[in-house]
Structure 1
Amino acid sequence: MSPVSLLILGDGRFPSGGHAHSGGAEAAVAAGRVRDAATLEDFCRGRLVTAGLVAASLSAAAAAGYDPLILDDAADARTPAPALRRAARRLGRQLMRAVRATWPGSELEHLAAARPAGVHQPVVLGLAARSAGLAPQSAALAAAYDSVCGPVTAAIRLLGLDPFEATAVTARLGGDMEHVAAEAAGQAARLPVDGVDALPAASAPLLDITAEEHAAWPVRLFAS
């Protein structure tokens, strides 16, 4: 297992398309729920233990070798908002392009051929981790980190937030990310016995509602 591979996956310069998405932060800023570093941290913590936990468990399961097509269907079932499903598949397509160039492998080629319309980003992330030789918990950690760093990076642009304060938000959530990653990996390990029902289905209804509203905005800075 290479720690460098985990760093590459988590690097904001990795061309995964995440820079075009705010993870719900743009709608939260517009509604006044995210105003500064403190409210951004609250938003990210809530996102981490709901959507972030689901994403981390899907990534861990894919990294463990569970059928990615079944996981993609499970991701659909856990993403009730059509706008979020579309965003997840767009991000998955972009990530797939980057991963196939960086860590080419037959599993990635098979998945790309089987789902040409795109696969949910967390599933692709888990398969990327598997191709890079990472353990399921590392894949879960990458997904947990991704669920936080997207909104944090977006908040810098949306609020003119001090980048040092934004980085401090990410750092303060480090322990929470590790906890979510460990929980997700544990749940993913139960799949051979319990099937996809072992994966969490934590919901964030406000993220779902505002995602649909955000998708209808005539002018927006981020795709989601």
Structure 2
Amino acid sequence: MSRAALLVLADGRFPAGGHAHSGGAEPTVRAGRIRDAADLAAFCRGRLHTTGLTAAALAAAAALGLDPLGLDEAADVRTPSPALRATARKLGRQMMRAARATWPSPELDALAAARPRGAHQPVVLGLAARAAGLGAEDAAHCVAYETVSSPATAVVRLLSLNPFDATAVLARLAPEMDEVARQAALAAQRCPGGGDFSALPAASAPLLDVMSEAHAAWPVRLFAS
């Protein structure tokens, strides 16, 4: 297992398209619910323990070699918002391009052929981690970090928040990211296989779903989601 590969996969400069997305921060800022670093921390914490945990478990399961098509369907039913489903597949398509160029893999090729319009991003990320020789908890850590780093980066741009303050938010959330990654990996390990993914978390954030639908209809926006 290469820890350097984990750094490459989690690096914000990995060309997987995440820089164009705010993780729901843009409509939350517009609604006045994020105004400063304290609000950002609360938003990130909520996202981490709901949709972040769900996505991390999907990635961990894919990294373990569980059926990626079944996991993609499981991701669909755990994503009630059509706008967020479209975003997840768009990000998955971009992640697939980057992953296949970086860590060529027959499993990535097979998923790309089966889902030409894009599989859900956490599933693709989990397969990319597997191709890179990483484990389930590594994949879960990548998702957990991305869950909070995307909004933090976006809020720096949206509010001109001091980047030192945004980075401090991420640093203070580090123990919780570790715990979410651990929980996600354990849940993935409990899956019996055979297409039964009921052991995976299905935590949700309904307000994020509602705001994402509204955001998708904006005529002008800084971020894609």
Q: TM-score, normalised by structure 1?
A: 0.99
Counterpart CA distance in 2 for 1:148 and 1:125 is 16
The answer to whether structure 1 residue 197 and structure 2 residue 179 are counterparts is no
Q: Deviations over 1:93-116 (max 9, x none)?
A: 000000000000100000000110
> How far off its partner does 1:147 sit?
0.5
Equivalent position of 1:213 in the other structure: 214
Q: Deviations over 1:67-112 (max 9, x none)?
A: 0000000000000000000000000000000000000010000000
2:220 aligns to what SS in structure 1? coil
Counterpart CA distance in 2 for 1:159 and 1:172 is 20
Counterpart CA distance in 2 for 1:153 and 1:180 is 20
**RMSD of equivalent CA atoms:** 0.8
Q: Which amino acid aligns with 1:136?
A: A
Equivalent position of 2:178 in the other structure: 178
Counterpart CA distance in 2 for 1:48 and 1:223 is 20
> How far off its partner does 1:155 sit?
0.5
Q: Which amino acid aligns with 2:163?
A: P
Identity of aligned residues (%): 67
The number of residue pairs the alignment matches comes to 224
> How far off its partner does 1:193 sit?
5.9
2:197 aligns to what SS in structure 1? helix
Counterpart CA distance in 1 for 2:10 and 2:165 is 19
Equivalent position of 2:34 in the other structure: 34
Q: Which amino acid aligns with 2:198?
A: D
| Contact 2:66 2:193 (C-alpha < 8 Å) held by counterparts | no
| Contact 2:126 2:139 (C-alpha < 8 Å) held by counterparts | yes
Q: TM-score, normalised by structure 2?
A: 0.98
Counterpart CA distance in 1 for 2:110 and 2:92 is 14
Equivalent position of 1:93 in the other structure: 93
Please, which runs of 5 or more residues in structure 2 have no aligned partner? none
1:181 aligns to what SS in structure 2? helix
Counterpart CA distance in 1 for 2:54 and 2:143 is 9
Equivalent position of 1:82 in the other structure: 82
